[in-house]
Amino acid sequence: MRAFIFPGQGSQAVGMGKALAEASPHAREVLQEVDEALGQRLSRLMADGPADELTLTENAQPAIMANAIATLRVLEREGGVRLADKADYVAGHSLGEYTALCAAGAFDLATTAALLRTRGQAMQEAVPVGEGAMAALLGCDLEQARVIAGAAVDAILAEGGPELVCTVANDNDPSQVVISGHRAAIERAIPLAKELGAKRALLLPVSAPFHCPLMQPAADVMENALLDADLRAPLVPVYCNVDAAPIATPGTIRVALVRQVTGMVRWRESVLAMTAAGVTEFVEVGGKVLGPMVKRIAPDATVTSVVTMDDIEALAARL
């Protein structure tokens, strides 16, 4: 069995999609459709930067999706590899879940782009700049990360400080967990992490504390946006981040996407659940970020990353 997977924020880079658009009219069509849906030349920003503007959450989220869907469309139209025929499941990391739903036909491309623009803006506006932060804990598993996050909160309370948010945001793989919350709590957690067993802890260059309770205002925005969005049953089941389980109806998808804004991205558990369901091959479309995580979670799985025309041709020849 095979799963197609789609990357999340952090995989953006200036030049993304440029070579593919130059090589394929199908890729250009996707980028043009996203530009029109957003009323913005996002494709130009993707191709030429500047990097700081591309990295803004409201730009990075639709850009990463557009790049992945452009790659998939070339694979389908020119490579003859139809996702609905070749994938048993799809999944995506954080915003990548929207890409997965688009790839599986639950959302059309314009709707996906608009939802991600709304999501990015809402997440950015939920917490004033400077008040939130995220940190990656390396050489650390989920239970260790929970202990570290709790210790940071307790240490601040013991000093007479306020009760701050510090919680696990992303359970990426057995050796990489991300925490999120108030900046003061995250900064307290970093030195504690090494004392409590992590090999390394580093502040992430993000503009907001994603996937934690501080994102509740953004979840409220997305609940309204998703109520109005045209949503169909996906052609293949989608493993959702918050439950690490497949969802297949519009109602469950809406609920999962709202919960995802404040909830933990259970990527490690999602990969384990897919392998338990029989998946032995993972195809990462539009990035090379999730593949290494998958190999650390499921070492026996086959992982293929599809980014370039050469990658697309090689996969099409094999499938």
Is 175 annotated in the active site? no
Selecting among 24, 43, 94, 270, the annotated active-site residue is 94
Q: What is the pLDDT of residue 205?
A: 82
What confidence score (pLDDT) does residue 256 get? 97
The topology under which CATH files domain 2-126+213-318 is: Malonyl-Coenzyme A Acyl Carrier Protein; domain 2 (3.40.366)
* Ramachandran class of 210: left when φ > 0, alpha when ψ lies in -120 to 50, beta otherwise: beta
pLDDT tens string 258-317:
999 999 999 999 999 999 999 999 999 999 999 999 999 999 999 999 999 999 999 999
Enumerate the CATH 3.40.366.10 domain ranges in the chain, comma separated: 2-126+213-318
How many Å apart are CA 32 and CA 183, to the nearest integer?
38
Tell me which of 26, 93, 182, 211 is the catalytic residue. Answer: 211
On whether the CB atoms of residues 288 and 305 are closer than 8 A, the answer is yes
What pLDDT digit, counting tens, does each position of 144-193 carry? 999 999 999 999 999 999 999 999 999 999 999 999 999 999 999 999 99
Q: How far apart are CA 284 and CA 261, in angstroms?
A: 23
Q: CATH 3.30.70.250 spans which residues of the chain?
A: 132-203
Say what the pLDDT of residue 67 is.
97
For 84-128, write each residue's pLDDT tens digit: 999 999 999 999 999 999 999 999 999 999 999 999 999 999 999
Give the predicted TM-score (pTM) of the model.
0.96
CATH class, 132-203 region: alpha beta
pLDDT category at 12 given cuts 50, 70, 90 is confident
> What is the pLDDT, as a whole number, of residue 101?
98
In the annotation, is 26 catalytic?
no
Range list of H helices, 104-248: 109-126, 142-158, 183-195, 216-228
Cα–Cα dist 170/272, whole Å: 15
The token duo for 153 is 């909160």
User: Burial of 297 by CB count in 10 Å (0-12 exposed, 13-18 middle, 19+ buried)?
Assistant: buried
Cα within 13 Å of Cα(124), Cβ side? 15
Closest to 83 (Cα-Cα) out of 172, 6, 20: 6
Region 59-87: mean pLDDT is: 95
Q: Which residue has the tokens 């205002």?
A: 217
